[in-house]
Amino acid sequence: MTVPGSNGPMSATSYKLILHREALKEIRSLPKAIRTRVSSILNTLEIDPRPPQAERLKGRRNAYRIRVERYRLLYEVHAAEIVVYVIGVAHRKQAYIRLLRRT
C-alpha cells in the first residue's frame, strides 16, 4: 500500500490528508483490490476533496462518504485548515456506527 500524501511536494491548492489511527488499520485490513482503490481515491482527495462521487452526510458538518463497492470511505473536509480528515473505511453495515463512535 502506498502512503497517502507521499506524491511529492504539495501545491498551493493541495489538501493535507490526515488518517485517524483506526482508519489506517482498517485500510490495511481491506482486501487488496479494495485497498488499491481506496489508496487511489485518497490520493485524489488531496487535490479535490469533494469529487462527483462523494455524497455529503446528513447530521454531520463537512462529512462525506465515497462508495467503494461494499465499503464506505468516510471523511471530513476542513477547508479553513486545508485538511481532509479520514474517519474510517468500513463495510457499509458498520461504517456509520463507526462514524458515530469517532466523533
Whether residue 90 is contained in a domain is answered as: yes
Exposed e or buried b per residue across 8-37, where buried means at least 16 C-beta atoms within 10 angstroms of its C-beta: eeeeeeebebbbbebbbebbeebeeebbeb
Domains identified in the chain, total number: 1
Using an 8 Å Cβ cutoff, are 65 and 57 in contact? Answer: yes
- For residue 97, the model assigns a pLDDT of 79
- The 10s digit of each residue's pLDDT in 22-53 is 999 999 999 999 999 999 999 999 999 999 99
Whether residue 50 is contained in a domain is answered as: yes
C-alpha cell at 8: 511529492
- For residue 99, the model assigns a pLDDT of 67
Sign of CA dihedral 43, 48, 50, 53: negative
Whether residue 2 is contained in a domain is answered as: no
Domain span at residue 42 reads: 16-101
Q: What is the widest separation between alpha-carbon atoms in the chain?
A: 37
CATH of the domain at 96: 3.30.2310.20
Whether residue 10 is contained in a domain is answered as: no
Whether residue 9 is contained in a domain is answered as: no
